[in-house]
Amino acid sequence: MYQSPSHLPEATRTEIARTLDERLADGLDLHSQLKVAHWNVRGPQFAALHALFEQFAIALALHNDAIAERAVTLGGRANGTARQVAKGSRLPEYPTDAVRDLDHARAVAERIEAYLGGVRESRSVGEKLGDTDTVDLLTGVITEFEKNAWFLRATLA
């Protein structure tokens, strides 16, 4: 662990940095999958979904950066190369046969929901260890991406 301005004990910082790095892998994977959906969507909902997927990707990139910077602030490392992400992400692979608009909406919604499961786990680690700053950061991610998943599920209804 690197030196940190945090008041948290090193063991706590180590555990939180580890879980944040796991979420970074998932988030970077989700970002790339959002871009695949953005580039390849076709169908009657094209205009709305094309723009929505890009909006989600931009927001996620900002959250990924904040998560990585929180891990580093705590004295950890942020690992985010393509190979590290492929090895560490818990998200399912994006379906290569998705072409139609609603197929993409469904695939993205499922992956956002899988991502949210991991973010909630990491927030629970922060809560258990008393790191309110990490909890606040992850609550913001959850709030925004629950709404994004809802947008997609509403499109599928």
Tell me the average pLDDT across 115-129: 98
What would the pLDDT profile of 72-90 be if each residue is shown by its tens digit? 999 999 999 999 999 999 9
Which pLDDT belongs to residue 1? Answer: 85
Burial class (CB in 10 A: 0-12, 13-18, 19+), 118: buried
CA atoms within 13 A on the CB side of 53: 27
What would the pLDDT profile of 5-63 be if each residue is shown by its tens digit? 999 999 999 999 999 999 999 999 999 999 999 999 999 999 999 999 999 999 999 99
The structural domains of the chain, with segments of one domain joined by +, span 10-156
How many residues are given for the chain? Answer: 157
> Going by CATH, does the domain composed of 10-156 fall within 1.20.1260.10?
yes
